[in-house]
Structure 1
Amino acid sequence: MDRTRPAGPYYTPLKEDGTPARFLKAKPLTDGARCAGCGLCSAVCPMGSISRSDFTQVTGVCIKCQACIRACPAGAKYFDDPDFLSHVTMLERTCTARKDNLFLEV
């Protein structure tokens, strides 16, 4: 690694329209009518941020990995932050197709 070159700019997440997406404080929500209280969401959270006594509470840092959403058998966990949802849509639209490796000469 060449430490004499300056680092590139910090990644700024973008919305569908290309503008910056601001969702640092977004946390998953829980549909209480659908939640069965199984605790899988809390068990799979890599940050340990979902309360083990009240699964509707995200008491710590959420890294938006969506592990809780994927693990929930009842589909009770979800995000409603518009910037985050727009960023996810942008990623799905632009980053799901397989691409060839590209090596740049520096």
Structure 2
Amino acid sequence: MIKSIAFFVYPITDMARSRKFYEDTLGLKLDTNFGDKWIEYDIAGGTFAITNMEFGHQPGAKGGAIAFEVDDLDKTVAQLKQKQVPFILDPMETPVCHMAVVADPDGNSVTIHKRKS
């Protein structure tokens, strides 16, 4: 049966704009580029991908969501606000974490997350 998650993927509309957001704004490092149609980022042994290939999925806030774990939530939030990234959910605390949710250029939700110790 299922052994692991192979990848998470977000549909996007503009590859250059999305790569700038994920690489320059969020600091992800490019792992694999399949013809500028499917881009993969390795994150701690997992794969996050963006694609502008047609799979019948629509970019935007009503789709899936991913959470990226960060070392310092306050510092990351300040950097994102400085870069004028739109916030869907301002920083908040739950019993197990601190988090905020931003939007990528297509409106996909990206959670910035810090687990409590």
Q: By the TM > 0.5 criterion, same fold? A: no
Larger radius of gyration between Structure 1 and Structure 2: 1
What is the TM-score when the length of structure 1 is the normalising length?
A: 0.29
Structure with bigger helix share is 1
If asked which structure has higher relative contact order (CA below 8 Å, sep 6+), I would say 1
